[in-house]
Structure 1
Amino acid sequence: MYIKKLMIALCAVVAAPLSFSASPAVAYSEAGKFDSSFNEAVFREGVAPYRAQYGHNLVEIEPASPAEYVSVLTRLAEQGRSPIVAVGFSYGEAVAEVASQYPDLQFTILDSVVDLPNVQSILFKEYEGSFVVGAVAALKAKKNTIGFVGGVNLPFITKFGCGYAQGAHYINSNIQVLSRMISDDFSGFADTEGGYNKAAELIDAGAEVIYAAAGGAGNGVYDAAAENSGVYAIGVDSNQNFLHVGTMLTSMVKNVGVAAFGTWHEAEEGTWKPGVKVLGLAENGVDWKLDIFNRDLITVKQEKEINKIREDIISGKIRVIDYTANNNQCPVALISN
């Protein structure tokens, strides 16, 4: 039922289908396939099940830096690969450039919009999932300070922090949410040392729970939290609860892998369509994770309260503000200094 609901949402695009023979590919971000985050979710929940079901030679490519994005997409396009899934919003300009040069191929970009007739853009309501884990953090914190670490200082990343702060303030109006950004460029997503250092700053400032939206650099955040008794971390994109058992409070998952599988599946079925898809809690595009690895950290009472918040967001009873759709303004305090 879980995957079925998301697959229904993935088919809700108004443009006419484009029919091509599937010969798919994926271009990961520079953080690498096994980043315990965004890329790895695409591999484990998208690439692996696609190969198991269809058995095709799906090509994977891992660029060393964003400077290689255009060249790797061009290489895949020259091979006639289609659909080509580009993992992450940092691919936006590269997809726009290459897709316009290969109009007969299909491209899908995760977390960004490229307005071309052969591009499928899949977005997620990260602010909804972040609200939920912000509430989890506030319920866990014994004092009034929690933290957020972003990989790159961009509104798209601040959106995670703003949703997190809204959820925390929903539980405790007196809580302080401290924010730190690792870098002003995309290198921040791979800077584990930078993640560690920013988390250490927050811990020194009294943060008891730290949420990371930092790609592979989040591993540094989790390491720092694990070294400090009474400090917890919240993972992002994929389920990272297993990384430091006893430290990882929960994870805000984006079902990017299922979305990637969906675009390849559509190509196989001849139903692939360009356009924009937006997936939130209602569409099972985002969620929080409770499993055997963090069960002992969250009481049954807290679980019920969090799931009630989740249901109220879906029903519209709780309205979560999208930072980027609100002129880059957060309705609650997100303290960056």
Structure 2
Amino acid sequence: MHRISLLPLALAPALLLGSAEAAAFTVGLAFDLGGRNDQGFNQAAFQGAKRAIDETGGEVQVFEPQKLADVGSGIPRLASMGSKIVIGVGFSNNAAITQAAASNPGARFVTVDDLPKGPNTVGLRFREQEGSFLAGYLAGKQSATGQIGFVGGVDLPVIRRFRAGFQAGVKFACPACQVKSVYVSTTSQGFNNPAVAKQLAAKLLAGGTDIIYTAAGASGLGVIEQIKAQPCLKAANLPAGVKFAPDNFAQVPRSAAEQKACAGDSRPTFFIGVDVNQNALGDFDKNPATLNHGLTSMLKRVDNAVYAIVKDVAEGRPWRSGDRSFGLSNGGIALAVDQYNKALIPAPMQANLKKIEDLIVNGTLKVPTQ
């Protein structure tokens, strides 16, 4: 049995912690901006911790920052409450994780997406470039304009891996295609600002972009909102030099509302989700049988990584500090194909994606990281 425990918020900004009578095994989970239900990175980490606790028993204590200055501030409190393992989600928590680990040598500390320091620490990091290459290949093959967008939260090494893999995948599929990259912010607020991301998406669409890949946390929801507001590009509105290719999705049924809004010579617009499966967010008419605007999602299986490390600690396995890497070869990275987007990725395309995945896993195809 697991527990998700709460304490009064007065103890710290948005602090959600365990009861005074701590469980035998406790996990402390400190989120980045966006919180537990961000439909992305934080949510995946929570799901992984909860799954492990469901199997081992114990309690999850969580800290949700409400503003940038709060990020990391709950980690010392999580450690002092008796957590056997404290996990900071996102690079912004890394300094606090490293500091808390030095002060609490008897506990284990983890940063998701960065590498903390100390013998009792682990960094859960991902080969984002591998899945991004697959997403880019798909975008390059399915784009009707040859104009493809990338919206990053912040220009950081981890986001550059997303971008580099995606650009390489697009060029592998479509040498003539262009990738336009933009960023939401210069601070970690870029991962929690859907309004700015929506504005960036609108500019990309105005430039003829028909597929946008997001690596921006909760900001990506703004891109999805813009795609919902503009589910197609029209030939009459394309910028100079941009022309439509044949419509790869002409045979996919459309809702009546979309048929009306996109009448005439038009092509659908798509987002590519990130971290968790966001395909369902592209089902704007609540009917999976009609055209979906989520082309796919690049799954960064933070849930699997967090699950594995919590299970290791809960079941007393030997501790191995340092970097733990997750990619296509070990269930850390994948593309999402489900009822919502299977009509957008026909069987021959899925077969090609599997061949490319095999080439990446066996080292034949080297994916850039910068």
**Bin for the TM-score computed over the shorter chain:** 0.7 to 0.9
Q: Please, which of 221, 238, 243 is the counterpart of residue 281 of structure 2?
A: 243
Give 2:134's aligned amino acid: V
The question of 1:257 aligning with 2:303 is answered yes
1:220 corresponds, among 222, 228, 246, to: 222
In the alignment, which residue of structure 1 is the partner of 2:195?
193
- 3-state SS, counterpart of residue 117 of structure 2: coil
Cross-structure match for 2:212: 210
Q: Which amino acid aligns with 1:275?
A: G
Per the normalisation by structure 2, the TM-score is 0.79
Q: Which amino acid aligns with 2:142?
A: K
Q: Report the counterpart of residue 60 of structure 1 in structure 2.
A: 62
Contact 1:134 1:167 in 2 (8 A): yes
Partner of 1:144: 146
Matching of residue 290 in structure 1 with residue 337 in structure 2: yes
SS at match of 1:71: coil
Q: Please name the residue that 1:309 is paired with.
A: 356
Aligned partner letter, 2:362: S
Q: 2 CA distance for matches of 1:94 and 1:66? A: 14
1:71-90 alignment, distance < 5 Å? 71-90=73-92
Q: Name the counterpart of 1:26.
A: 29
- 3-state SS of 1:316 partner: coil
Deviations 1:219-275 (A, max 9, x none): 001111222221100000111111112110000011101111111111111114322
* Equivalent residue letter for 1:40: Q
Structure 1 segments of 4+ aligned residues over 6 angstroms from their partners: none
Kindly provide the amino acid, as one letter, of the partner of residue 150 in structure 1: G
Q: In the aligned structure 2, how far is the partner of 1:106 from the partner of 1:67?
A: 24
Correspondences of 1:317-332 after superposition (within 5 Å): 317-323=364-370
* TM-score for the superposition, normalised by structure 1: 0.87
Q: In 2, are the aligned partners of 1:241 and 1:248 still within 8 Å (CA)?
A: yes
Q: Is the 8 A contact 2:34 2:218 kept in 1?
A: yes
- 1:176 equivalent to 2:178? Answer yes
Hey, what's the Cα distance between the residues in 2 that align with 1:33 and 1:95?
19
CA distance in 1: counterparts of 2:148 and 2:99, whole angstroms: 41
Give the Cα–Cα distance (whole angstroms) in 1 for the partners of residues 151 and 187 of structure 2. Answer: 14
* Matching residue's letter, 2:171: H
**Aligned partners of 2:49 and 2:118: how far apart in 1?**
25
* Local SS of the residue matching 1:123: strand
Secondary structure of 1:183's partner?
Answer: coil
* Amino acid across the alignment from 1:57: E
CA shift in 2, pair 1:70/1:299, >3 Å: closer
Query: Is 1:133–1:288's contact at 8 Å kept on the other side of the alignment?
Result: yes
Partner SS, residue 184 of structure 2: strand
In the TM superposition, what is the alpha-carbon distance from 1:182 to its structure 2 partner?
0.4
Cα distance in 1, alignment partners of residues 163 and 112 from structure 2: 20
Q: Unaligned 5+ residue runs, structure 2?
A: 1-23, 233-267, 284-291
* Partner-residue secondary structure (3-state), 2:366: coil
Conserved 8 A contact 2:28-2:79 = no
Encode CA deviations 1:254-304: one digit per residue, 9 max, x unaligned. Answer: 110111111111111111432211111111111111111111111111111
Secondary structure class of the residue paired with 2:282: coil
Residue-pair matches, total: 302
CA 1:204 to 1:239, structure 2 compared with 1: closer, same or farther past 3 Å? same
- Residue 124 of structure 1: aligned partner: 126
The percentage of aligned residue pairs carrying the same residue is 32
